[in-house]
């Protein structure tokens, strides 16, 4: 495109690409490449901005590996050398912890806030491709989960002295990346229903108990253990245990079905709500 200059009535003179404003080729059809590019741009800028929000990126990217190093290496490193299962338990716990946060807060709080701020309305008025807004947040969350694993695995191998095979590392990474989806769905469900301020409170209302009474960090008393399967963290933890070659409860297929079912159900409710209410 050639930039051409024009003199406007107010005397501003600058090279402006007006002449090509109406390209004869302008049609409302997007090539597949450009459509894909739009989805990628949305995901790229969503990730970029969440990385730049230090109040989001530092706790969710640094905290899991930092806590793992604190408990798994500094405090109990000696004991774990003689009991790799305990080391793997801590690794699994902080891994699942790292996967929970970005989905619940990245979806929950940000969607609620952006709805209030009119951003969702603007996206609906603009020709943003279908679902690109939610998909971008999903990919951002998966990227965060990937980074959590990319820092925890070297920490576990090099400093935690955990005997992990390549296959175990790969499968635990895949489980974590896809395991972030049900937490996205929970966040989405909350974020499409309440205000921005309330969303943080509601997310915490689920996040904190889920972290503490689903058996993630420590053995539970019997009455809590019987209800722990209601928490998605329990199922994700069992999948990670199985992937690490540890003893686990329940069948893999059931855990996957519960997590997938929760994701699909909550997402469907939320999308319906978004389409109706915005």
The residues that touch other proteins, with contacts defined as CB under 8 A, are: 1, 3, 6, 8-10, 12, 14-19, 21-23, 25-31, 34, 37-38, 41-42, 45, 48-49, 52-53, 117-119, 121-122, 124-130, 278
Q: How far is the CB of 266 from other proteins (least distance, A)?
A: 25
In our burial notation (b when 16+ CB lie closer than 10 A, e otherwise), range 54-91 reads: eebbeebbeebbebbbebbbeebeeebeeebeebbbbb
DSSP label of 31 = P
Q: In the structure encoding, which two tokens stand for residue 95, read together?
A: 């891994």
Task: Closer to other proteins by CB, 55 or 221: give it.
Answer: 55
Question: Could you tell me whether strands 4-7 and 13-16 are parallel, antiparallel, or unpaired per DSSP bridges?
Answer: antiparallel
Q: Which is nearer to other proteins, 48 or 201 (CB)?
A: 48
Residue 77 half-sphere exposure toward CB, CA atoms < 13 A: 14
**Shortest approach of other proteins to residue 29 CB, angstroms?**
6
User: Minimum distance between the CB of residue 81 and other proteins, rounded to whole angstroms?
Assistant: 43
| Closer CB to other proteins, 74 or 125, in the complex | 125
- Comparing CB distances to other proteins, the nearer of 39 and 249 is 39
Nearest alpha-carbon partner for 179 in 112, 68, 96, 62: 96
Output the six-digit token pair for 13: 């003179």
What is the DSSP secondary structure assignment for residue 76, as one 8-state letter?
Answer: T
Q: Identify which of residues 15 and 163 has a Cβ nearer to other proteins in the complex.
A: 15
Distance of alpha carbon 229 from alpha carbon 210, whole angstroms: 11
Q: How far is the CB of 43 from other proteins (least distance, A)?
A: 10
In whole angstroms, the minimum distance from the beta carbon of 62 to other proteins comes to: 18
């Amino acid at each position: 495109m050639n930039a051409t200059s024009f003199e406007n009535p107010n005397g501003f003179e600058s090279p402006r690409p007006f002449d090509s404003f109406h390209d004869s080729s302008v049609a409302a059809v997007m090539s597949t490449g450009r459509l894909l590019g739009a989805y990628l741009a949305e995901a790229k800028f969503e990730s970029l901005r969440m990385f730049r929000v230090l109040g989001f990126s530092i706790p969710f990217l640094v905290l899991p590996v930092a806590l793992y190093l604190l408990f798994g290496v500094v405090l109990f490193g000696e004991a774990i050398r003689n009991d790799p299962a305990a080391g793997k338990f801590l690794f699994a716990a902080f891994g699942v912890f790292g996967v929970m946060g970005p989905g619940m807060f990245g979806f929950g709080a940000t969607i609620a806030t952006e709805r209030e701020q009119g951003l969702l309305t603007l996206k609906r008025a603009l020709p943003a491709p279908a679902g690109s807004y939610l998909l971008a947040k999903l990919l951002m969350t998966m990227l965060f989960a990937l980074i959590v694993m990319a820092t925890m695995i070297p920490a576990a191998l090099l400093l935690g002295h955990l005997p992990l095979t390549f296959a175990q590392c790969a499968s635990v990474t895949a489980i974590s990346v896809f395991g972030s989806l049900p937490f996205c769905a929970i966040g989405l469900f909350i974020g499409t229903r309440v205000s921005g301020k309330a969303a943080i409170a509601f997310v915490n209302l689920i996040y904190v108990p889920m972290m503490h009474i689903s058996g993630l960090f420590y053995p539970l008393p019997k009455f809590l253990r019987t209800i722990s399967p209601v928490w998605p963290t329990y199922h994700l933890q069992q999948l990670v245990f199985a992937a690490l070659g540890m003893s686990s409860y329940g069948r893999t297929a059931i855990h996957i079905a519960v997590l997938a079912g929760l994701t699909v159900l909550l997402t469907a409710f939320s999308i319906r709500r978004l389409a109706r209410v915005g």
